[in-house]
Chains A and B, each alone.
Chain A
């Protein structure tokens, strides 16, 4: 009996408040929004959620290290542009080059943040702008169409058995993120760095190397999202989905990932992504304009961060005592990058 109460209590303590929000959202929309629960709409939500899911997985990696990446939308746009420009080499090499461009953006972010200790916010704000400019320059500001091709459309339109390809990719993304977080050394080190970078260094962890790898890994998730999105729009667009990175940060925050690092679960990322996608879809079905959807996502993000604060700031040394001040999220000297 007490055991059952205990595990219920533990579940309640661990479950992000967003889970309840998601349940209420789904129940409400099933009743009030016509066609919300239809098979067509559910699959539509799934395919829309897939891109955000993969980007949010990448965002989760860097958020856990106490970082963040604003440049992801620019990186996805760069991927679409590079892929379409290189399409003459064949579809697979073109996508590979596009993905390589995204990884390069991740490597630049990682290098600046880990090696030169520039705060993640400033670094990725810089790459956000510069990479956007680069994409525009590559196509002289005009979106370029890819030649019609069934193979090019497959990542967005194809299916694996009963599931559409984007959903399969997103599910693979979640599994990979879960394995990274729970079963790999690098994943553990990300959590430890996010929890206390100074202690991570003193414990002999290679903080710079792990931080660098976090941004490259995040870029790999972004490249997978870019694959779906490039295929979907079938063109190279420098202005592709400009709010993607912010929505991903919002999804992580809603899903209970601590933006000050060291805390978060894959289940939270999934819930956060679904809350963002389902609420947008529901508002669409209720004929609310997409501008209002932005307001809703914004409010949800701030509310979830507030909610996390109200349920206790777990995971810091501030249990009733003032702390010496936040340890700055710097990576110290004396360590080589790979």
Chain B
């Protein structure tokens, strides 16, 4: 679906911001912000200069999102000052910031799924109350087409967003910023839903925008991306800028991690590959439009990785194994018993745990407590004749929440009060109850900070060593290699290869793309 972005299309759209190169366009100094009892920001500063890519790093809960919201006028800091071009500025709200050329791109996509690509691309114009005259439509459509070409996206302008993949939607968001003549672009984890190819496309777009003299701020948890792209780095920890607008060239990866977590993190130790009996088996499994001819076995205590680019069928395969998607043809068996496809309730009771890819959309229950979020898949087990044994529930899960070091440590806290990493841990706690035989985890650490990621990995590996059969489908190759005993590579709806986790990234990429090394 994606093609190489055409630099011509880009430069046709983008007017030069040459004069602002090297100048501090947007800055915030000594910002603090308190929400209720939580000090989200204590003392954070950063400066965005024209013609530079600035990376904002920090664990979940460090205050990155709060800082971005201050920069786009979404919230006002309790103390501290925002300056635009050196002048103190009061940003009233997000449209105000957008009007001044500061454009946010959110981690959770902000597209309207039932509107067309074109309508979404023009959303800012529409939102500012400028009625689009019929005669403008052609001109806008032309601009929209150029913007899509600039980000290398080949989709129908009239197609509803809902028909696009997550990655394509992300690119539409980027295209929306291309169409606007923005001075500052703020990206909150832009790469989490993208696969290798698309990340390259995005980076090329960002590099072009940088070359045009714009200021770009992006949040990422992937240090390789930061090293690749960033000119300057700011690291937040506990709401403070530990490193503030430091030149990236002088920093090592180790410096960044240390600034983020304050201590050295460790890779989980590799385990000996288990050779137990197969727990979960698929035979001649196929889903129309997804994948076909899949045969696989997952053994007791084994972690099977599944990788594939978007559209390869990897996600769909994992979903079918979890009972979250109907089987087209073929069989899925759990310890010899056939599972009915597309029936999560039956799969759960047979012993299949499931971590969906999009934790906020498909995983968690906003407005409910951490405890109730964690126990949701155990209610059938905790019930006796319809009565919920709430004492047992609390006893079983408060220990587990504690083990996973979920903060705040209050099991009755609303799940929405937690940072992304802690939310994800609640989802992990839901599935690592010791009663399941299989865990199917999609993107188990997407958008999660490094420390939480290590903790989640260790929890999954610990459960595996107690006999849990695990399927991990992730777009993060490092993650798959760190966790898996074997890795299945999906390409164009088929199993392209099965590789060992110690195979190099190069080999896996070779199988992913089918390209020669």
Contact = CB atoms under 8 A, between A and B. Distances in A.
B498 interface: no
Given A185-B386, A322-B110, A196 B354 contact: no
A199 B383 contact: no
B108 A319 contact: no
A258 B367 contact: yes
Interface in B134-171: none
Contact of A195 (B75, B342, B365, B379): B365
A333 B430 contact: no
Contacts of B65: 320-321
A262 B361 contact: no
B108 A199 contact: no
B367 A183 contact: no
A204 B106 CA distance: 30
Contacts, number: 127
- State which size class the interface on B falls in: 35 or more
A198 B361 contact: yes
B75 A335 contact: no
Nearest to B169: A324
A337 to B, nearest CB: 12
Given A202-B344, A204-B348, A317 B107 contact: no
Interface in A159-189: 182-189
A324 B368 contact: no
B365 A320 contact: no
Per DSSP, chain A at the interface is loop
Nearest to A207: B345
Nearest to B344: A204
A203 B376 contact: yes
Contacts of B416: 314-317, 319
Residue among B107, B109, B114, B340 with most chain A CB within 10 A? B109
B324 interface: yes
A198 B366 CA distance: 12
Contact of A185 (B69, B112, B343, B379): B379
Given A184-B388, A204-B345, A316 B366 contact: yes
Interface string A302-321: 00000000000011110111
A185 to B, nearest CB: 4
Interface string B343-367: 1110111000010100011111111
B127 to A, nearest CB: 11
Contact of A196 (B114, B344, B365): B365
B440 to A, nearest CB: 11
A45 B439 CA distance: 56
Given A188-B372, A203-B377, A322 B361 contact: no
Contacts of B368: 191-192, 195, 262, 315
A205 B363 CA distance: 12
B80 interface: no
B169 to A, nearest CB: 9
Interface in A10-33: none
A42 B383 CA distance: 41
B414 to A, nearest CB: 7
B290 interface: no
B108 A196 contact: no
A191 B388 contact: no
A199 B74 contact: no
B64 to A, nearest CB: 12
A182 B366 CA distance: 18
Given A205-B345, A324-B113, A325-B113, A186 B386 contact: yes
B69 A199 contact: no
Given A202-B344, A322-B106, A334-B343, 8 more contacts: A182-B390, A184-B387, A195-B366, A202-B324, A204-B377, A205-B376, A315-B414, A334-B342
Those 6 A-B pairs whose CB atoms lie nearest each other, nearest first: A315-B367, A204-B348, A322-B110, A195-B365, A334-B342, A185-B383
19 contacts: A183-B388, A183-B390, A184-B386, A185-B380, A185-B382, A196-B365, A199-B356, A199-B376, A200-B365, A202-B363, A204-B349, A204-B377, A206-B345, A262-B365, A315-B416, A317-B366, A317-B416, A319-B416, A320-B74
